[in-house]
Structure 1
Amino acid sequence: MERAMVVGLVIVLSVLVHSDAAGEECFDVRQHISTVTRYGVVKDVADNSFVASEIPNGCTPIHLNLVSRHGTRSPTKKRIRELDNLAAHLELLLKDAEEQKLSLQKIPTWLRNWKSPWKGKVKGGELISKGEDELYDLGTRIREKFSDLFNDEYHPDVYTMKATQVPRASASAVAFGMGLFSGRGSLGPGHHRAFAVSTESRASDIFLRFHDCCENYKDFRKRQEPFVHKLKEPFFDEITSALVRRYELNFTRQDTSSLWFLCKQEASLLDITDQACGLFSPSEVALLEWTDDLEVFILKGYGKSLNYRMGVPLLEDVVQSMEQAIQAKEENHPPGSYEKARLRFAHAETVVPFSCLLGLFLEKSEFQQIQREQPLQLPPKPPQKRKWRGSTVAPFAGNNMLVLYSCPSNANTSSNYFVQVLHNEHPIPMPGCDGSDFCPFEDFKERIVAPHLKHDYDTVCNANVETEVQMPATSKLSLLFRWLLSIFSPGKDDKRSQKDEL
């Protein structure tokens, strides 16, 4: 009997060890780098439990709205300097280890004499070739999927293209347009055609760069960023200690932060996953990813209603374009005389708030909470599951499409017009529309749009509202302590208290 129990225990342990090893083998770090994730790596990572709506027979798309982030880009000048500083500090750490005659056997070979791949670059932040491909291919797929919408002769008023006045966004619009209109012109061997991309001044673009124009938001972010970094510090310290033990180098918290940034750049831009990313275990990567997602949630997402309410002009613009399309349909305007698509190219700071305005990535109860102006809990810490992941909410080239359908009259519904929402080209449930991705247009306006329209942009952004009381340092430390307790020993009261003050 005892022998049987021992044999059984050995079998169970071997299965567990094998499953853990298999889990690590299939772990793709490129899917776990938050908003630095490349589009092709995650665009087909969807919620398998959601069953998309069947588009009823006779329903045809009559208008399409696209809000897209720019494609994969190079590091900014500030980040290039950070990587140069990392290289210099790593050199000092290795020299110090040699002087102390410490063993260097545990140090990965690549780390010795490492130099940043971007060393010597004086400019950064530009769209790279992978980013061009992402948008070009997206344009090609959209034309194929909605061929009836894009069969008209090109005119800038029929296919409106807008981008922010930032080169990587306007370059993304151009790459997309080349895919969308390829073969439709007479330019060069690819038979390309010229098309227009309009931009607004950065200082006044309240549709696509509202975060740059909203004074209350800029003030909120300036005051909140140090606090968010403080929330992340214990987790970086934990991982830093693990790195020091593992490699016997005196890494600092800043080294860990820079190495994590290097991991994301190598994985996303260069498809290198066995250098900087290889320094971290899968569980450490998951924790680092979560800290990034936490920051996006608090500073750009559902962490504060101001984050997305400042995007109301964009939401109004989307609805207005659909109403104009419905009017053109009702009045039988001839093809080529009205707009069929409004295509926008911007940033994560645009796509994330817009997703929040639509109520995406929420349970129905959470959607009701934000409608009642109640705060949400923070995304749960790994290994708990969460819907809010930067890699799917706003990867490079991440996008939301709202497709307006005209449907034949049906005794079962009073609406002839429906809105389908696609996130990264896949139907996604809208909690405000009973969890469906296909919503009667009037219900979409009443349940999802109307509550936001109570908040005027000028009032939200420029009046003395939605500002937070500056907490003294002792209060913030107390809050941080309670939050950490709630992470490791979660209790409803702790979480509610923490979010009410955030």
Structure 2
Amino acid sequence: MGGTQYAGGMNRNTCRSSYKVFIIFAAWSSHVEEADEKHLAHEGEDEMVELAERFQNRFPQILPEVYTNSTFQFRYTATQRTVESARHFTVGLFGRRVSRQVWFPEATYRDPVLRFYKLCKRWQVEVDKNPHSLLERMKFEDGPEMSAALKDVTFRLGFNETMSTGDARLLYITCAFETAWDHRAQSPWCAAFSESNMKVFEYAEDLEYYWIDGYGYNITYRQACPPIKDMMQHFLAEEIPGGEHKAPAVVYFTHSGTLLKMLAHLGLYRDENALLHSNYHTMGKHRKWRVGQIDSFGSSLAFILFRCNKQLKVLTLHQEKRVTLPGCPEFDLCPLNALKEQYRESWTDCNFDHICGLPPEAA
């Protein structure tokens, strides 16, 4: 590049650019209180309302605008963000006035269906609290790709000493959250990263989710059978004429940890090779396990049962888009019988206590 060189290796154009960034930083202040750390943001409230409206427009017979307890079954965990997600979703379905009349069962923090992993002691010991689960991320953050990204971010901000991974990660997270909270304004912290830098930090994050919430250890996704069993029991009730009545619409509000484990249990977004610190250049561009896409804010996973010429078939939607489950036809709805066969062990032999029990020496 041409231009007069200045101390620190920046040329005149870079100096101007950095000066503009610093002006934006000077005007920045955090509007988030520590007490609101795990609360649903206003953007999330709007997202739930709009999500409900889109699903209702798409499936008006399953999600009618008129509310009755016999038509809908709602459920959430004992956390502020799932409670508020549920309430704003009902605003999108029924309007603000009627939504106040919606009945919800008493929530539990360790819900056996919606937050099963909180009850899985073996997973907590062997994966969640096991430092080895973070080994691939740590190796990647000590590797050449992250080293180059840190130097790039440091240069862009005009610092003399290379930033630590922890500090740069904090900037990356702030950029992501502020972008999600206000899509009309760009977070100034995003200016610290080029597109290639973003991809490096994204891969480091994906490594952690892969090994703690995804395919890294089979205990992680094996334990996710309770919600699959719950879904199948609702569908199988439709096979029995005059059987026990089930609410036509069952809507659950849960957490990222639940959804990622369910996706892995279903066999979705599984790459041929495991995500490792050493295969960024082969897995970086075309990997299926990309948490920013498969588990973004306001994620949704839906199973819709259809009766087609007396045959029961299932449509699976993830992020409101059709996905093909293993064992199902690629260009048609999945016959319920095929789903039953593919996930037979999940709904007939979901022995959660056996899966999650600690061996005697670890108990």
The TM-score bracket by the shorter chain reads 0.7 to 0.9
Aligned residues: 336
Match of 1:321 in 2: 234
- The CA deviation string for residues 123-156 of structure 1, in whole angstroms up to 9 with x for no partner, is 4221111111111111122122111223495332
TM superposition score normalised by structure 1:
0.61
Match of 2:280 in 1: 381
Secondary structure of residue in 2 paired with 1:403? strand
State the distance in 2 between where 1:199 and 1:116 align. Answer: 38
Match of 2:120 in 1: 214
* CA 215–318 in structure 1, closer or farther in 2 if over 3 Å, else same: same
Q: How does 1:311-350 map to 2 (within 5 A)?
A: 311-327=224-240, 330-331=241-242, 338-350=246-258
Do the aligned residues in 1 keep the contact of 2:75 with 2:105 (CA within 8 Å)? yes
Do the aligned residues in 2 keep the contact of 1:325 with 1:340 (CA within 8 Å)? no
Q: CA deviation at 1:435?
A: 3.6
User: Is 1:406 aligned to residue 307 of structure 2?
Assistant: yes
Match of 1:236 in 2: 146
Q: CA deviation at 1:323?
A: 1.2
- The CA deviation string for residues 367-409 of structure 1, in whole angstroms up to 9 with x for no partner, is xxxxxxxxx5227625531222112211111111001111115
Amino acid of the structure 2 residue aligned with 1:176: F
Match of 2:352 in 1: 457
Match of 1:257 in 2: 169
Do the aligned residues in 1 keep the contact of 2:42 with 2:181 (CA within 8 Å)? no
Do the aligned residues in 1 keep the contact of 2:304 with 2:316 (CA within 8 Å)? yes
User: Is 1:181 aligned to residue 181 of structure 2?
Assistant: no
Do the aligned residues in 2 keep the contact of 1:215 with 1:462 (CA within 8 Å)? yes
Q: CA deviation at 1:445?
A: 1.0
* CA 158–464 in structure 1, closer or farther in 2 if over 3 Å, else same: farther
Amino acid of the structure 2 residue aligned with 1:311: A
Do the aligned residues in 2 keep the contact of 1:359 with 1:448 (CA within 8 Å)? no
User: Is 1:201 aligned to residue 112 of structure 2?
Assistant: no
Do the aligned residues in 1 keep the contact of 2:87 with 2:99 (CA within 8 Å)? no
State the distance in 2 between where 1:152 and 1:109 align. Answer: 50
State the distance in 1 between where 2:348 and 2:218 align. Answer: 13
* CA 322–391 in structure 1, closer or farther in 2 if over 3 Å, else same: same
* CA 322–286 in structure 1, closer or farther in 2 if over 3 Å, else same: same
State the distance in 1 between where 2:348 and 2:265 align. Answer: 10
TM superposition score normalised by structure 2:
0.83
Q: CA deviation at 1:104?
A: 7.4
- The CA deviation string for residues 87-117 of structure 1, in whole angstroms up to 9 with x for no partner, is xxxxxxxxxx9xxxxx976453246546541
Amino acid of the structure 2 residue aligned with 1:231: K
Amino acid of the structure 1 residue aligned with 2:242: E
Amino acid of the structure 2 residue aligned with 1:163: Y
Secondary structure of residue in 2 paired with 1:160? strand
Do the aligned residues in 2 keep the contact of 1:297 with 1:303 (CA within 8 Å)? yes
Match of 2:67 among 154, 171, 174: 154
* CA 316–252 in structure 1, closer or farther in 2 if over 3 Å, else same: same
Secondary structure of residue in 1 paired with 2:306? strand
User: Is 1:447 aligned to residue 358 of structure 2?
Assistant: no
Do the aligned residues in 1 keep the contact of 2:226 with 2:350 (CA within 8 Å)? no
- The CA deviation string for residues 315-369 of structure 1, in whole angstroms up to 9 with x for no partner, is 1001001112332xx3399xxx541011100111111111122222247xx5xxx
Match of 2:5 in 1: none
Secondary structure of residue in 2 paired with 1:417? strand
Match of 1:124 among 37, 59, 62: 37
Secondary structure of residue in 2 paired with 1:207? coil
Q: CA deviation at 1:426?
A: 1.2
State the distance in 1 between where 2:154 and 2:223 align. Answer: 43
Q: Percent identity?
A: 23
* CA 463–119 in structure 1, closer or farther in 2 if over 3 Å, else same: closer
Secondary structure of residue in 2 paired with 1:319? helix
Q: Which has the larger radius of gyration?
A: 1
User: Is 1:421 aligned to residue 322 of structure 2?
Assistant: no
Q: How does 1:342-381 map to 2 (within 5 A)?
A: 342-362=250-270, 376-378=273-275, 381=280
State the distance in 2 between where 1:344 and 1:239 align. Answer: 40
For structure 2, the 5+ residue unaligned runs are: 1-7, 9-13
For the aligned residue pairs, the C-alpha RMSD in angstroms reads 2.8
Match of 2:190 in 1: 277
State the distance in 1 between where 2:340 and 2:320 align. Answer: 22
Could you say which structure has the greater relative contact order, defined with CA pairs below 8 angstroms and 6 or more residues apart?
A: 1
